[in-house]
Structure 1
Amino acid sequence: MAEAITDRQVVTVLRPFVRATTPLLSALRESDPLGLVRRVLPSATRPETKALPASTGDAEDAKALATVDRSRREKLLDGLESLKVPGTQAWSEMTVTERDNWWVNRVGRFTVLLASIPGLGGALADRLPIQDALATAGQGLLLSAMAAEHGITDQADRVRLIAAVLFDRHIDPDLAAGKDDHLTREQEDATTAELTGDLDESARKHGKITVKAATNTLWRFGRTLYALGDELDKRPQGRFYHKAVGLLPVVGMAADYLGERSALKRAAKKARRWLDAHPAPTSA
Structure 2
Amino acid sequence: MSSLLSPDKKTSEAELEGLDKLQTDTARSGADRKKQLKRTLTRVLSPLAAVVVLILIWQLYVWLGGKRQDVVPGPLDVAATFGQLWEQGTLQQAVWTSVQRGLIGFVVSAVIGTALGLLFAQVRPLRTAFGPLISGLQVLPSVAWVPAAIIWFGLSDGTVYFVLLMGAIPSIINGLISGVDQVPPQFRSMGTVLGASKTELSLRIILPAALPGYLSGLKQGWAFSWRSLMAAEIIAIGGTMGFGLGTLLQQGRDLSDMGMVMAAILMILLVGIVVELAIFAPIERKLLRGRGLLLN
- TM-score interval w.r.t. the shorter chain? under 0.3
Which structure has greater helix proportion? Answer: 2
Larger radius of gyration: 2
TM-score using structure 2 length: 0.24
**Larger RCO, structures 1/2 (Cα 8 Å, 6+ apart):** 1
